[in-house]
Amino acid sequence: DQQVKQNSPSLSVQEGRISILNCDYTNSMFDYFLWYKKYPAEGPTFLISISSIKDKNEDGRFTVFLNKSAKHLSLHIVPSQPGDSAVYFCAASEKSSGDKLTFGTGTRLAVRP
Amino acid sequence: GAGVSQSPSNKVTEKGKDVELRCDPISGHTALYWYRQRLGQGLEFLIYFQGNSAPDKSGLPSDRFSAERTGESVSTLTIQRTQQEDSAVYLCASSLEPYWGYNEQFFGPGTRLTVL
């Protein structure tokens, strides 16, 4: 069963506007959530994370929001830049099971100049 | 410093053959993970090594898959009697010892395995 879901396989946004990527999860034991960014032929790179005790974490242009009651998190990129074009993976971990990550299927973001 | 490296970058093999994939983690990283990404799918956890603890093999899809790690260095993932459904990009990641919070996992570029 897919415990982490990204229902939008792709998203296209105009440069300078906001990009919002969404992620839903089903396992209430997850206590850490992360976003990874992946370019073709490269491994994923860590972008931003949030602990389940918080509802928002901000790092420059990137903000992650967590709604535990809805089991939903989102990544906001403001302003979007062409270099942000990549595949974004949502991931979650359950500390009691070590730091192994459960990933979503990814959302391909295209930022149009 | 050097990141996580994996070899080979590409591997094409015939169904039924055995393959061995290698991962060199970042020096000093005690945790090492293997994931795979099949076409159109997310990354799927396979196995996790942490120091001298018994590895977490809960993600290995069948007994044809096995992995070893020498101390806190190189790891090899072996797939015996490969099947076409094993075709995927196999990714290795390493991190510092997890003790609280979350330790960032650094990924290698992956090995693309194609089983004909």
Quick one: three-class SS letters along chain A? CCCEECCCCEEEEECCCCEEEEEEECCCCCCEEEEEEECCCCCCEEEEEEECCCCEEEECCEEEEEECCCCEEEEEECCCCHHHCEEEEEEEECCEEEECCEECCCEEEEEEC
pLDDT of residue B98: 66
Set of chain B residues whose Cβ sits within 8 Å of the Cβ of A49: 102, 104
**Interchain proximity B93–A103, CB inside 8 Å:** no
In the predicted model, what is the mean pLDDT of residues A1-22?
94
Go through B21-58 and write b for each residue having 16 or more CB atoms within 10 A of its CB, e for each that does not: bebbbbeebbbbbbbbbeeeebbbbbbbbbeeeebbee
Model confidence at B26, pLDDT cuts 50, 70, 90, reads very high
Whether residues A98 and B50 touch (CB distance < 8 A) is answered with yes
What residues of B are in contact with residue A32 (Cβ under 8 Å)?
101-102
Mean of the pLDDT values across residues B91-108? 82
Residue B43 Cα, gap to closest chain A Cα (Å): 6
DSSP state of B84: G
Residue B59 confidence (pLDDT): 93
Determine if the peptide bond prior to B25 is cis (ω within 30°).
Answer: no
**What is the pLDDT at residue B2?**
80
Residue of A nearest to B92 (CA): A43
Question: Is the pLDDT reported for residue B91 higher than 80?
Answer: yes
Out of B59, B91, B103, the one facing A43 most closely (by C-beta) is B91
Specify whether the CB–CB gap between A68 and A82 falls below 8 A.
no
Q: What is the pLDDT of residue B101?
A: 61
Decide the pairing of beta strands A10-14 and A107-112: parallel
Q: Which residue has the tokens 């990129």?
A: A77
pLDDT in tens, A36-88: 999 988 999 999 999 999 999 999 999 999 999 999 999 999 999 999 999 99
For chain B, percent of residues with pLDDT exceeding 70: 95
Asked if residue B38 lies in contact with residue B44, where contact means CB atoms within 8 angstroms, the answer is yes
Per-residue confidence band for A99, with pLDDT thresholds at 50, 70 and 90: confident
A88 strand-pairing partners: A37, A107
pLDDT of residue B99: 62
Residues ≥6 apart with Cβ < 8 Å to A55: A65, A66, A67, A68
According to the model, what pLDDT value does residue B44 have? 93
Beta bridge partners of A112: A14
Would the pLDDT of B12 be above 90? yes
pLDDT at A41: 85
Computed over its alpha carbons, how large is the radius of gyration of chain B? 14
Residues B105, A43: C-beta atoms closer than 8 Å: no
**Are the CB atoms for A22 and A7 separated by under 8 Å?**
yes
Tokens of A18: 């906001």
pLDDT of residue A97: 66
Say if residues B106 and B93 touch (Cβ distance below 8 Å).
yes
Question: Are B56 and B47 in contact, with CB atoms under 8 Å apart?
Answer: yes
Q: What is the pLDDT of residues A17-42, one digit of tens each?
A: 999 999 999 999 998 999 999 998 89
Residue B1 clears pLDDT 60, i.e. is over it = no
Asked whether residue B27 carries a pLDDT value surpassing 60, the answer given is: yes
